[in-house]
Amino acid sequence: MDYWHANGMEGHFKEALQRMRDAGIAAVGFAGHKPEAHAWMRDHLEVDFQMCSHYNPTDQSQHAQHIDTGEKLHDDDRARMLEIIATIEKPVVHYKVFAGGNKPIIPAFELLGRVMRKNDIVCVGMFPKDDPQMIAQNAAFVDEYVEKAAQKDSVSRMTQ
């Protein structure tokens, strides 16, 4: 998505969407790292969801492939993406929320509890070979930080 958008290849999005719909895919959308690309998608495409990376590790405007050398993981990238996410009406898949394992997970889960909306989901990368309990722990963190925040938000809206 980042490469197509940066290089004015917007026609590729419409063609890809049509192919996905023709193939019978139930829900279609695109993933990307650049907030500007997601703002464009919000304004110009009829997608079912947007998959928004919290971090933009490398510039993909010159190449579509991910290159893992020289990665930069800045919190201001996440802040800009979260500003765009707040303006997207469609469900959002939040991903790279731990910056590929380079950021602490508890603060990331706490943040998710504050920014995820009712129909959003999170894609959490895991490597259980390092810790066999990782899946269960992450599920518990979602319950503790994300679901609890969502319930608290629902209660506060009902009392207003």
Mode of pairing for the β-strands spanning 49-53 and 121-122:
unpaired
Q: What is the pTM of this model?
A: 0.84
Residue 158 has pLDDT above 50, yes or no: no
What are the backbone angles phi and psi of residue 56, rounded to the nearest 5°? -120, 85
pLDDT digits (tens, 9 = 90+) for 18-34: 999 999 999 999 999 99
> What is the residue type of 44?
H
The pLDDT assigned to 156 comes to: 42
Sheet holding 92-95, edge to edge: 29-32, 49-53, 92-95, 121-122
The pLDDT assigned to 90 comes to: 97
The pLDDT assigned to 125 comes to: 82
* Structural domain spans, the chain: 2-155
Angle formed by the axes of helices 75-85 and 35-44, nearest 10°: 10
Surface-to-core class of residue 152, CB atoms within 10 Å of its CB (0-12 exposed, 13-18 middle, 19+ buried): exposed
What is the average per-residue pLDDT within 50-55?
Answer: 95
The pLDDT assigned to 68 comes to: 66
The pLDDT assigned to 22 comes to: 97
Distance CA 137, CA 139 (A): 5
> What is the residue type of 18?
Q
SS3 readout for 75-133: HHHHHHHHHHHCCCCCCEEEECCCCCCCCCHHHHHHHHHHHCCCCCEECCCCCCCCCCC
> What is the residue type of 95?
Y
Eight-state DSSP code of residue 70: T
